[in-house]
Amino acid sequence: MGRLIHFEIHATDPEALVRYYSELLGWEFDLQPQMEYWLIRTGPEGEPGINGGLLRRPVPGPAGGPLLNAFVCTVEVDDLEVALARNAELGGEVALPRMAVTGLGWLAYVKDPDGNILGLLQPEPSAA
């Protein structure tokens, strides 16, 4: 079975996105200087979830188009409204406004300051 085991975020300004994700989601970053690659810890070992990496964008994205064709990763948050407000404070934008996913919760997509899309989900089984 092809289980997802790692993700990567491409960044024009890696240090800026390290700050953004650290402050928005509490992720921890460990720079691997020989590769200019940051390992990302998204939570404690032994809990559900995956870790990832952040690297300098290898090629510039096309003007006005998608920076990279990729999967959208969704992160569980305690309070979607708080996360959306913090996203805006940190220079992010809303890509898809808050919507109900019936029986699952409240979902929104945001763009980080470099244009990468990230899903934010507040679990709420009564969402409709």
Domain boundaries, given as residue ranges, for the chain: 7-59+70-123
pTM of the model: 0.84
**Residue ranges for the chain with pLDDT beneath 50:** none
Residue 60, classified by CB atoms within 10 Å of its CB into exposed (0-12), middle (13-18) or buried (19+), is exposed
Average pLDDT over the chain reads 90
pLDDT at residue number 63: 66
Residue at token pair 């085991």 = 5
pLDDT of residue 43: 96
Q: Which two tokens stand for residue 122?
A: 């507040």
7-59+70-123 CATH: 3.10.180.10
Which amino acid is residue 116, in one-letter code? N
Q: Which pLDDT score is estimated for 123?
A: 95
